[in-house]
Structure 1
Amino acid sequence: MSIKPTILVTNDDGINAPGIRALISVMAEIGEVIVVAPDSPQSAMGHAITINSTIYLNKISGENTAITEYSCSGTPVDCVKLAVNEILKKKPDLCVSGVNHGSNSSINVIYSGTMSAAVEAGIEGIPAIGFSLLDYDWNADFEQIKPYIKKIALEVLAKKLTEGTVLNVNFPKLKTNEIKGIKICRQAKAIWMEKFDKRQTPYGKDYYWLTGEFVNQDKGEDTDEWALAHGYISIVPVQFDLTAHHAIAQLNTWNL
């Protein structure tokens, strides 16, 4: 009898988000599932950790009583750290994060709590995947992408990942029969052109709302943005070694 893999599930939209509930249901078909996720939305938290306040961890009753679930008052990265150090007796065979309500393609990966949770698992030596659907609607249809989630997760479990690498998977907002397939991509060069909407409270105190426009500066046809725009699921291998290796030779020529 084969032993089922242990799978850690987390996200940044909160433990009650439809995206994570869909992800839990798929992972339950594959292995033994442990859920540790924020008790409230933590979108765009990046790789933040909690160091100046307490963190609360509460065991809860999920939809499936066979699955152990914990809600955490901290960030997505806190969730992974607590799972590995306090809950699990050994490191899981896989960590999956999401499914995020909205895109984490291109530069969004830098700000994403979803991907930061996956990256933290990767730092711990755990194969990890971040999943996102390009639909910000709370009631987005996650059923259509479940077969792809399962396929990708099974491949990672079977083939493993290169050390220091996690996967950033984004799904276009399309019906299953409209998705053309999966493309392995690079991250597109894009930026957010931020604007701050300055307003005042009734008491005259200034406050700001961050707004902005996403600008894709990359015309390449091997990018995640191109793939998503043309009906493909994008998979970008992401590394957490931020060293700009190509710049080392140049810096060594400086008079330092």
Structure 2
Amino acid sequence: MAKKKPLILVTNDDGITAPGIRALIEVMNTIGEVLVVAPDSPQSATGHAITINDTLYFDTVKTIEGSPQKEYSCSGTPVDCVKFAVNEILKRKPDLCVSGINHGSNSSINVIYSGTMSAAVEAGTLGIPSIGFSLLDYSMNADFEPTKKFVKSLALQCLKNGLPKGVVLNVNFPKLSEKEIKGIKVCRQANAHWEEQFDKRTNPLGRDYYWLTGEFVNEDKGEDTDEWALKNGFVSVVPVQFDLTAHHAIKEINTWELS
């Protein structure tokens, strides 16, 4: 009797037509049965937002002839996509959820803003092994070919071994050719932040408006971080937990005079 193919949910935050998700779909089709539910327009930096004060629309997407996956576009956020796929479309829980491949970095502090990673985290909260993939290239013409071998390997290992309870993977790729990539480093999130500014401008009607700008500052010199791995030609893999409790701080805060 033939072994049943794993069921894989694919989503992203750059939108269902983005080249990154098309590359991810291509790889996942070599592994299992694929369902795609992704935003109908870019939803970068939406974090874990969900739609509660507006209606949601989902439309079937016509795929390229011969493509086996089913696809739906969503008017909402990446997290909306995961919720809808699990609760409305699928008859059983996916064996794996993959999100991306994002156009741009989601390493270090960027993970908390990322719609790509929030979709993976949402699936993780539902008990689905999940991975978010990102490439350090913001261009819509980014070359995802060098990532495909690593994407497939990580997905297969995740299906084979599962993930620890409460953990999803944040995977980032350097902008390098496959030959230039030195391998994979499992590492920690670098201690870094954005020094932000607002670029103030005035529209023709005299009303001020602002563009958020900023500079990424990495003050972490450790050689066990995602930023170090990426800078030195490695794929970074950071296990991310979605229990946000600072367990180490409980004892200290219990010393306060609370009433």
Q: Please classify the TM superposition score into its range, dividing by the shorter chain length.
A: over 0.9
Structure 2: runs of 5 or more not aligned: none
Separation (CA, whole Å) in 2 of partners of 1:62 and 1:15:
11
Separation (CA, whole Å) in 2 of partners of 1:248 and 1:254:
10
> C-alpha deviations, 1:203-236, integer Å up to 9, x for none?
1101000000000010000000000000000000
Separation (CA, whole Å) in 2 of partners of 1:217 and 1:239:
22
The letter of the residue matching 1:46 is G
Indicate the RMSD between aligned Cα atoms, in angstroms.
Answer: 0.6
The letter of the residue matching 2:19 is P
**Matched residue SS, 1:178:** coil
Q: Which residue does the alignment assign to 1:98?
A: 100
Are 2:29 and 2:68, in contact at CA under 8 Å, matched by a contact in 1? no
Separation (CA, whole Å) in 2 of partners of 1:167 and 1:13:
19
Q: Which residue does the alignment assign to 2:62?
A: 61
Residue 2 (str. 1) matches residue 3 (str. 2):
yes
Separation (CA, whole Å) in 2 of partners of 1:190 and 1:212:
13
Q: Which residue does the alignment assign to 2:31?
A: 30
Q: Which residue does the alignment assign to 1:152?
A: 154
> C-alpha deviations, 1:51-87, integer Å up to 9, x for none?
0000000011122542100000000000000000000
1:109 corresponds, among 108, 111, 118, to 111
Separation (CA, whole Å) in 2 of partners of 1:62 and 1:9:
14
Residue 194 (str. 1) matches residue 196 (str. 2):
yes
Separation (CA, whole Å) in 2 of partners of 1:152 and 1:51:
34
2:133 corresponds, among 89, 112, 131, to 131
Separation (CA, whole Å) in 1 of partners of 2:145 and 2:13:
20
2:186 corresponds, among 184, 187, 192, to 184
Structure 1: runs of 5 or more not aligned: none
Number of positions where the alignment pairs a residue of Structure 1 with one of Structure 2: 256
Once superposed, which parts of structure 1, at least 4 consecutive aligned residues long, lie more than 4 Å away? none
The letter of the residue matching 1:189 is N
The letter of the residue matching 2:228 is W
> C-alpha deviations, 1:121-147, integer Å up to 9, x for none?
000000000000001110111011101
Q: Which residue does the alignment assign to 1:20?
A: 21
The letter of the residue matching 2:100 is G
The letter of the residue matching 1:153 is A
Separation (CA, whole Å) in 2 of partners of 1:123 and 1:129:
13
Q: Which residue does the alignment assign to 1:252?
A: 254
**Matched residue SS, 1:78:** helix
> C-alpha deviations, 1:178-218, integer Å up to 9, x for none?
00000000000000000100001111101000000000010
Separation (CA, whole Å) in 2 of partners of 1:58 and 1:215:
41
**Matched residue SS, 1:214:** strand
Q: Which residue does the alignment assign to 1:226?
A: 228
**Matched residue SS, 1:153:** helix
Q: Which residue does the alignment assign to 2:74?
A: 72
Separation (CA, whole Å) in 2 of partners of 1:214 and 1:251:
31
Separation (CA, whole Å) in 2 of partners of 1:134 and 1:102:
5
Separation (CA, whole Å) in 2 of partners of 1:20 and 1:67:
13
Q: 138-147 vs 106-115, which deviates more?
A: 138-147
| Aligned 1:161-180 pairs, distance under 5 A | 161-180=163-182
The letter of the residue matching 1:137 is S
Compute the TM-score of the two structures, normalised by the length of structure 2. Answer: 0.98
Are 2:28 and 2:34, in contact at CA under 8 Å, matched by a contact in 1? yes
